[in-house]
Amino acid sequence: MPVHILPETPSQTAGPYVHIGLALAAAGNPPREQEVWNEMARPGAPGEHILLLGHVYDGNGHLIRDSFLELWQANADGVYETDFDLNKPFNSFGRTATSDEGEWLARTVKPGVVRNAAGLPMAPHVNLSLFARGINIHLHTRLYFDDEAASNTLDPVLNLIEQPVRRQTLIAKRCTVDGKVAYRFDIRVQGEDETVFFDF
């Protein structure tokens, strides 16, 4: 049976109105009744509840205040939950956006270990897609955790990055925010300490 390759769908930049269309609360508008947003884990979700937060910087080191991020991660047991339901305690998918102060935030649980297609364990991580004005095709990256050093050392995706110093651009730093466990992950689109992005 012949294989038919479909043509790529044309792309365009996400801005400057990404917040108005996709991040209503960040744009100062009331959210839709069924909004996919940054609360991936509710109080009843199993696992260690954490905050993920950070800034997004352009190549000149300036904050990108209207970026939009999508997050995709396993639950605390290392399983991706594909039956999305806003009433569930945990969903593997979420969205967030940078505020006027330039910071994004997500409430979730620390993901468990997932095995790749070859059966190798991957360190706990969160997959991120970044949308922003001036970016024609959204950027894919990963967030790893600095207190998972042993797992990070063995992670097959991190080890694809030839320069060890570049791997550090994917490591979120543990901190405390309002008494809660948090991990700070700043994304740099270009320039010095540019975040590693993946071509999936």
pLDDT digits (tens, 9 = 90+) for 30-51: 877 777 789 999 999 999 999 9
| CATH number reported for the structural domain that contains residue 23 in this entry | 2.60.130.10
Domain-embedded: residue 193: no
Domain-embedded: residue 196: no
Tell me if residue 145 falls in helix, strand or coil: strand
List the domain range (segments joined by +) for residue 30: 18-188
Domain-embedded: residue 61: yes
Domain-embedded: residue 198: no
Domain-embedded: residue 126: yes
pLDDT digits (tens, 9 = 90+) for 142-169: 999 999 999 999 999 999 999 999 999 9
Domain-embedded: residue 8: no
Question: If you write DSSP's letter for every residue of 28-86 in order, what string do you get?
Answer: TSPPPTT---SB-B-TT-SS-EEEEEEEEE-TTS-B-TT-EEEEEE--TTS----S--T
pLDDT digits (tens, 9 = 90+) for 91-133: 999 999 998 888 999 999 999 999 999 999 999 999 999 998 7
Tokens of 72: 């995709």
pLDDT for 154 equals 96
Provide the domain count of the chain: 1
pLDDT for 79 equals 97
pLDDT for 16 equals 63
The rounded mean pLDDT for the chain is 91
Burial of residue 122 (CB within 10 Å: 0-12, 13-18, 19+) is buried
Determine contact, residues 149/158, Cβ cutoff 8 Å: no
